[in-house]
């Protein structure tokens, strides 16, 4: 078993412990955000953590009505921009807690009097020690270069923050159901991923599409496939795919479409129809039983109580697909060429 696969399998247990490890911090943070009437969030991250940040943007906007932006660290670290972060919550996301540019954003927010939050897997990291609040990933040592359990724990912490901050009990309940649902279904998800990769063993490029909550998961699936399989995979929002990238699709290009039941389902249906018209290879990944039955090459995932919670099942499939595809190509997903576990960008 690869380390990556072992760490994928650890995710139900990891997620089950995240809320308990952070409950007091989440309560205190949500109270300060509400007391100060914080209306803007800035999320600073790189790589997979940046994809978690995009998920956070959707959560904070949908559940709290808060406008969120992705940080532009180079504006600060390269150009010395005089940013004013005094009225913001600045959330630095880094599994190692050692991302220098993310740390710079948090330090600037501290100087300005903003609310600062670190999301890391390292209690002793510079980022954890610098931010006022530390949300602890609590995933244990992650050995594979490709982030899996730390990524889903980041997603989970951001979703918990949205639930605590907004006071949305339905969201919180749906999140609390995820670990047990994932524990009961993860073997089936992995089996489906392994079977599907047999068809794509020789792929050299392709696309992953999603919308809404699953847009960042499409990007994450593309990244995981890039780094473990050396495939030229691109992740796009379904809504953006019409604006140029669609021209690259032809019969030899696989297109994977993440289609959760919910607000974006009809957009996914229209995209499947469009890709099929082009005679391209479609793999539909959905939790909608009726939709899955309509598409020959499809995977049916468990359905969560909320679209925000359903993201975790799509993420596990994405990770497993990359892992099994890498192995089928005779590669080592634990140690991709030219990559390091910790990347410190300034």
Q: Domains of the chain (ranges plus CATH)?
A: 3-167 (3.40.50.10490), 181-328 (3.40.50.10490)
Angle at 123 between CA 180 and CA 11, to 5 degrees: 20
Q: 133-136 and 89-93 as β-strands: parallel, antiparallel, unpaired?
A: unpaired
Distances (CA, A) of 93 to 52, 118, 135, 194: 8, 6, 9, 30
Closest CA to 304 of 163, 172, 216: 172
Dump pLDDT digits (tens) for 255-279: 999 999 999 999 999 989 988 888 8
DSSP 205-258: EEEEEE-GGGHHHHHHHHHHHHHHH--EEEEEEHHHHTTTGGGG--TT-EEEEE
What is the tens place of the pLDDT at every residue in 93-148? 999 999 999 999 999 999 999 999 999 999 999 999 999 999 999 999 999 989 99
- In the chain, DSSP finds a helix count (H) and a strand count (E) of 13, 10
Using the predicted structure, report yes or no on whether residue 342 has a pLDDT greater than 80.
Answer: no
What pLDDT is recorded for position 251? 75
Q: CA triplet 139, 143, 145: central angle to 5 degrees?
A: 110
Q: How far apart are CA 152 and CA 155, in angstroms?
A: 5
Model pLDDT, residue 343:
52
In this structure, what DSSP letter does residue 303 have?
P
């Amino acid at each position: 078993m690869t380390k990556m696969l072992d760490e994928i399998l650890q995710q139900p247990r990891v997620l089950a412990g995240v809320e308990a490890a952070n409950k007091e911090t989440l309560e205190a943070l949500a109270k300060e955000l509400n007391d100060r009437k914080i209306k803007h969030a800035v999320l600073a991250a790189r790589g997979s953590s940046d994809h978690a940040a995009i998920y956070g943007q959707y959560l904070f906007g949908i559940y709290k009505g808060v406008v969120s932006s992705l940080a532009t660290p180079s504006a600060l670290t390269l150009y010395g921009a005089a940013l004013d972060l005094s009225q913001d919550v600045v959330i630095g996301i880094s599994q190692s807690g050692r991302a220098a540019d993310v740390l710079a954003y948090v330090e600037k927010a501290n100087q300005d009097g903003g609310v600062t939050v670190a999301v890391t897997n390292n209690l002793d990291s510079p980022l954890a020690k610098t931010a006022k609040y530390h949300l602890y990933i609590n995933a244990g040592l992650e050995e594979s270069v490709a982030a899996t359990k730390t990524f889903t724990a980041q997603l989970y912490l951001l979703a918990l923050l949205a639930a605590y901050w907004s006071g949305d009990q339905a969201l919180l309940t749906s999140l609390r159901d995820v670990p047990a649902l994932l524990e009961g279904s993860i073997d089936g998800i992995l089996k489906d991923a392994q079977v599907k990769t047999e068809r794509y063993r020789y792929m050299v490029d392709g696309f992953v599409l999603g919308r809404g909550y699953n847009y960042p998961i499409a990007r994450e699936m593309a990244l995981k496939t890039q780094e473990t399989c050396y495939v030229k995979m691109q992740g796009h929002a379904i809504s953006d795919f019409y604006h140029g990238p669609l021209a690259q699709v032809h019969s030899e290009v696989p297109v994977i479409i993440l289609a959760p039941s919910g607000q974006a389902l009809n957009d996914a249906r229209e995209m499947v129809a469009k890709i099929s018209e082009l005679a391209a290879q479609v793999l539909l990944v959905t939790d909608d039983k009726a939709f899955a039955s309509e598409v020959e090459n499809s995977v049916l995932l468990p359905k969560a109580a909320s679209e925000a919670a359903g993201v975790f099942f799509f993420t596990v499939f994405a990770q497993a697909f990359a892992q099994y595809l890498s192995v089928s190509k005779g590669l080592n997903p634990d140690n991709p060429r030219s990559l390091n576990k910790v990347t410190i960008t300034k």
